[in-house]
Structure formats: C-alpha cells, structure tokens
Homo-oligomer: A and B are copies of this chain.
C-alpha cells in the first residue's frame, strides 16, 4: 500500500485496509463529492484497481459479473442515495444470484444530514433503500467502525452475499484504529443426511426425474458429480431459467438444460417429469402470474424435493448423493462437440448467430446471455460449442445487465474471451458500459440482436388485448422510430463496430472480432423468432 502506511490511520484508510486484507483487488466506481477521501485512498494504494463507469448501473452490473466469475467480491463505490438508486436494478440481479459484492456508499457527514441538504431523502435514509437489495447493510458510527464493517462485509460477501456499507463522509476523514483481524473463512452448512437419503430414494424409484441445479452446483467438481449421478440414474440435469453465478457448459461438460422462460413453454417442457430434485435451485416458479394460469411450471402431480439450498455446501451434497446412488465410479455424461458443418448462410437469424458462435468461440470463452426473446435458439446452438461458462444477468428480473456483466467478467478473467449476446431494448439501459470496455480494453465481443422492439412485451400483450394491437399500444412496445444505430453508439463510446446483414457477414465479422483483443460490437438485425410469434397467436386466441 506504498505511502498509505506512512501517515495516520483514518476511516477511509481503515476501510480499504480491511478490504485489501480480505483479498479485494478491484473497485468499480462512479464516485461523487462525498467519496473523495475514498478515491484518494484508492489512488494511494497499488492493491486496488479502480474502474470508472459512467453510471452506477454499470458499476453494480460489472461488480455482479466480476463476483460471479471470480467467486470473491469487488467493491462497488457509489455516491449517496441517488447513486445507490441507479444501482438498485443490477444489485437486485446480484442479490438474487448470491453474488459476492461489497457496496461502499458515501453519504453526507453524520452531523450534516439533519440540515437536510439536497441529497437527503424526503422520507427515509440511505440504509432504507440499500437494505432492499442487500443481504446485509451496516452504517458506520465512527471512523474505526468503518474498518470493522469492512472486515464483516468482506467475510460475509465471500459466502455469496451482497453487503452494503453506508459511510458518512466525516467517518472517512476522522482518525481511526486499524481494522480488526479478519475471521476465518466461514464454511457452508451441510445438507441433512436424511435429505440426501430421500433424494437417493427418489433417484432410484424409476420415475422420470430432473435434477435441478443452481449456484455453485453448476460448475467445477460439483457439476462433474451431478454428471455421474445423471449417468448412473438416468436423471436429467436441469437449471433455472436464470441460473445464479454461472453455468459451465459446452464440449466435455455434463450437459444441463435451462428451463424455458415463457410459462407455457416451460410447462410443456416439464410436463413429463414426475419428480424434480433441487440442489441449490429454486422451484420452477413463473416469473409473472397471469390471469387464470398456474404459477408453477412443473406438472401438478410432480414431486418437488429440495435436499440442499444454494447457501449449503452443494459439492459435498452431490458427493454424498453420488455415493448414495453408487455413482462415484460412473463416468459423467458429457456433451459432445457439435461437428463443424457448412457455415451458416442467408438470413441472419438467432440460430445462425448461435451456430457461428458454436463454431468460432474459443475454449474457455465466457458467454453472457441477455438475448431475451432470441436466447433459446442461441442457447440450443451453442450446447456443443467448445467448453465455456454461461452467464445470464436476469436472476433478479432486471434488464440491462448484459453489457455491465460482460465488462465485469472480462475484468475478472483476463485472458478469456467474453462474448455478449445482447438484445437491443435491454442493451439500451446500460449502453454506456461500452465506454468502460473501451477504456479497460476489455476483451469482449458484443453481438447486438436488434429487432427494434421490446419483443417479449408483444407476447405478453397478446394475453391482454382484444383484437389487434393499435398504433398507440405499439408505440409503447416498439423501438423502431427512430431506429437505433448501434454502430454509431459504439463509435460515440470508443468501441469499434460493424453491422451484419446476412449470416455470412456475421460469420466473417465475428471471426475477425474474436481474432483481436479488446472490445468489438456487431449489430445484427434479426427478426422475432417464429416460435414466439406462434405462441403469441395461441395466447391471444386463449384470451
């Protein structure tokens, strides 16, 4: 920490010492006046890399991507209630994904808040808004308390929690003692032996069974163990529509199917399952309730059993389960590589994009999926791509996470190529993330799927409307007037970009993009998939 030890300890220094001692190395930041002492402190240390973002949605979304890939927290440095507010949506995704994050929010000096300067809220305090998307929230009562909170927040965040430190700025500059010693790493609670036994009985009873994995069960040794169980018992490996953390997939990995998003497609997909066993995953609940429709995607008679939740030790649970079903010696099921075929040609569809990705994504790539209505064909086409990790930001239902998450993943994993498939409507929420990608030379290829609409809403509106959409309704669902020019937007933010009109053009441009280091964007005009339009018609008829 170079100079920082030579002068007296203050609250800002104690806080950053606690975080650095806990292994924090990265700070995504959009600071304001109340964080200057913190910025100064970061500026003095070699131990933390600061990454400036143009809005707090990028700060928090990048911290989410970073934490999911790295498994340890970055700091998200935010400014007062407004800054935290701008970060709420992405923190909602992070909180529901159990991503390790430490938010540090500078607020007005404790003695100044009662003077009601501009930033004070009409009806509450910063901690009131911070709490809703945080598993833990602490406010510094003194400068020394800042260091204590840092120790506590970092330790808890590592277990998969979003932790928020509210830091009045007098606590930054006041004298402090050094932070306390960090606690030993917390272990995760084990699954109950009876629960594992019961799961093993279900897997042995001959019924059609899905093993629904979530959290850390979707990667590494835990996933290998699940692959052994699947090979031994015939159970199918499934994952939530929006898996938390990331999913390792592609060639050689035990294949895991994502449960489809749309309620009716999800119900159809799960209808033959007689049992679903959940390890770190939630029940297949519909994202939204609809009039006179069920809220669970599983069949009415399907048995649902959860031997271990996401907070528990999933690898040990899977090892116990593998042992109980005698699968420890069984080789895991493994995904085969999709053989190289003729490159896609003609119309540029999501499927064609997916096939190019499958052919060209390098091993160890990170695929960030905010393709929304175009996600399913891309997911299907990349099943047998080279081994890669799959991230889906929408764990908390917030849109706009794709570009920030790609930035965060690239920062967390230098040397790995990040490919972000990004729908246009959600991409516009956080388009300014491209600037930070350019600035950090983040190795990200952004593939924008442009259909000039909030296409999912066309489907949802079909459930509600009588007759056809009128022009006024359309005006609230469509984005074509004026058409967004992503090539110009990327240029404005410092990222080289191109436009692909055909599958061949995309293939060529994508090949060129992945051959280089640093951010690239390809704008692809794609139609809404036919399957969705067909479902839209069905839903409208059912109305």
Which A residues have a C-beta under 8 Å from some C-beta of B? Answer: 29, 31-34, 36-37, 39-40, 42-44, 50, 52, 54-55, 57, 80-89, 92, 95-96, 108-109, 111-112, 115-119, 121-125, 128-129, 131-135, 162, 169-170, 173, 242, 282-283, 285-289, 291, 295-296, 394-400, 425, 428-429, 431-432, 435, 438-439, 456-457, 460-461, 463-465, 469-470, 472-473, 475-477, 479, 481-494
- CA of A348 to CA of B89 in the docked complex: distance in angstroms? 39
Contact A289 B108 (CB under 8 A): yes
Contact A82 B88 (CB under 8 A): yes
Contact B288 A481 (CB under 8 A): no
- List, in ascending order, chain B residues with CB within 8 A of A456's CB: 33
Closest chain-B Cβ to A42's Cβ sits at a distance in Å of: 7
- CA of A162 to CA of B428 in the docked complex: distance in angstroms? 27
Contact A133 B128 (CB under 8 A): no
Closest chain-B Cβ to A203's Cβ sits at a distance in Å of: 26
Say whether, besides A50-B472, A54-B429, A81-B92, A170 and B40 are in contact (CB < 8 Å): no
Closest chain-B Cβ to A158's Cβ sits at a distance in Å of: 17
Closest chain-B Cβ to A89's Cβ sits at a distance in Å of: 4
A42, A54, A80 — which one has the most chain B CB atoms within 10 A of its CB? A54
Contact of A119 among B29, B396, B470 (CB under 8 A): B396
Closest chain-B Cβ to A104's Cβ sits at a distance in Å of: 13
Contact of A122 among B80, B121, B135 (CB under 8 A): B135
- List, in ascending order, chain B residues with CB within 8 A of A485's CB: 491-494
Chain copies in the assembled complex? 2
Contact A89 B83 (CB under 8 A): yes
* Given A111-B295, A122-B135, A485-B494, 20 further pairs, Cβ under 8 A: A31-B457, A32-B399, A39-B477, A40-B473, A43-B470, A43-B473, A85-B85, A85-B87, A85-B88, A96-B122, A109-B288, A115-B286, A117-B295, A118-B287, A119-B397, A122-B133, A169-B289, A431-B432, A482-B493, A489-B489
- List, in ascending order, chain B residues with CB within 8 A of A131's CB: 123-124, 128
- CA of A494 to CA of B432 in the docked complex: distance in angstroms? 17
Contact A123 B133 (CB under 8 A): yes
Contact B54 A428 (CB under 8 A): yes
- List, in ascending order, chain B residues with CB within 8 A of A86's CB: 57, 85-86, 88-89, 429
Name the CB-closest residue of B to A486: B492
Contact of A31 among B115, B173, B476 (CB under 8 A): B476
The 10 A-B residue pairs with the shortest CB-CB distance in the complex, in nearest-first order: A85-B88, A482-B494, A43-B473, A489-B492, A118-B397, A488-B492, A82-B398, A82-B89, A109-B289, A112-B289
Name the CB-closest residue of B to A77: B476
- List, in ascending order, chain B residues with CB within 8 A of A493's CB: 482, 484-485, 489
Closest chain-B Cβ to A395's Cβ sits at a distance in Å of: 7
- CA of A384 to CA of B354 in the docked complex: distance in angstroms? 61
- List, in ascending order, chain B residues with CB within 8 A of A121's CB: 92, 95, 132-133
- List, in ascending order, chain B residues with CB within 8 A of A128's CB: 128, 131-132
Contact A285 B464 (CB under 8 A): no
Name the CB-closest residue of B to A98: B122
- List, in ascending order, chain B residues with CB within 8 A of A486's CB: 492
- CA of A117 to CA of B461 in the docked complex: distance in angstroms? 20
Name the CB-closest residue of B to A462: B36
- List, in ascending order, chain B residues with CB within 8 A of A472's CB: 42-43, 50
Contact B89 A85 (CB under 8 A): yes
Contact A52 B170 (CB under 8 A): no
- List, in ascending order, chain B residues with CB within 8 A of A291's CB: 170, 173
- List, in ascending order, chain B residues with CB within 8 A of A398's CB: 82, 85, 119
Contact A476 B42 (CB under 8 A): yes
- CA of A122 to CA of B161 in the docked complex: distance in angstroms? 11
Contact A397 B288 (CB under 8 A): no
Contact A396 B82 (CB under 8 A): yes
Contact B287 A119 (CB under 8 A): yes
- List, in ascending order, chain B residues with CB within 8 A of A470's CB: 43-44
Contact of A396 among B52, B118, B396, B400 (CB under 8 A): B118
- CA of A43 to CA of B255 in the docked complex: distance in angstroms? 45
Closest chain-B Cβ to A389's Cβ sits at a distance in Å of: 21
